Structure 1
Amino acid sequence: MLLPHAQTLAQARSYVAALADSALTLDASSAYERVLLELDRVHGDDCPALDSEDLTDDGDIPLAVASSAIEELETHGIDPLAVELILAMLVEAHDLDIG
């Protein structure tokens, strides 16, 4: 994994983790955790660490950044179908979170 790919993945993982930490329900938090697990699975568990320090508490910003970073993974050779499935999981988790 090259540095730009690792940076993009770290950003996606960090913001999804921030969403999981701030989720309003256990179901939503678990759904975000499943997004993280799928990101790890797609990358063969070769994943950079999470860094959710100093991330905004505004729920829309982490969602937008995470979505953008996940979409960008396609430019680093990740299967487009896998990217779309992960994005769908993220949207489903967010829908659970906002009720």
Structure 2
Amino acid sequence: MFLPHAQTLAQARSYVAALANCAPNIEASSAYERVLLELDRVHNDECPALDTDDLTDDRDILFAVAGSAIEELEHFGVDALSVELILAMLGDARDLDIG
């Protein structure tokens, strides 16, 4: 994995983790955690560390940046169907979050 890919993946994972941390209920938090697990699975568990320090508490911004980073993974060779499935999982988690 080249550096730009790793940076994009780290951003996606960090923002999804921040969403999981600030989710209002266990169902939403668990759904975000499943998104993280799927990102890890798609990358064969070769994933950069999370860094949620100094991220905003605004869940709308966290969601937008996470979604954008996940979409960008397609430019680094991640299968388009996998990206769409992960984005769908992120949307489902968001639905539970704003529930």
Specify the TM-score bucket, using the shorter chain as the normaliser. Answer: over 0.9
Identity of aligned residues (%): 77
Aligned AA (2:18): A
**Cα deviations by residue, 1:37-88 (Å, 9 ceiling, x for unpaired):** 0000000000000000000001100000000000000000000000000000
Instruction: Determine if the alignment matches structure 1 residue 10 to structure 2 residue 10.
Output: yes
2:39 alignment partner in structure 1: 39
One-letter amino acid of the structure 2 residue matched with residue 12 of structure 1: A
How many residue pairs are counted as aligned between the two chains? Answer: 99
Pairing of 1:1-99 with structure 2 (within 5 A) = 1-99=1-99
Separation in 2, partners of 1:76, 1:51: 21
Using the alignment, how far apart are the partners of 1:24 and 1:94 within structure 2? 11
CA distance in structure 1 between the partners assigned to 2:78 and 2:57 by the alignment? 29
TM (normalized to structure 1)?
1.00
| Root-mean-square deviation (Å) | 0.2
Q: Letter of the aligned partner of 1:71 in structure 2? A: E
**5+ residue gaps, structure 2:** none
Whichever residue aligns with residue 60 of structure 1, its letter is D
C-alpha separation in 1, matches of 2:59 and 2:12: 14
Shift of 1:16: 0.0
TM-score, normalised to structure 2's length? Answer: 1.00
Runs ≥4 residues deviating over 4 A:
none
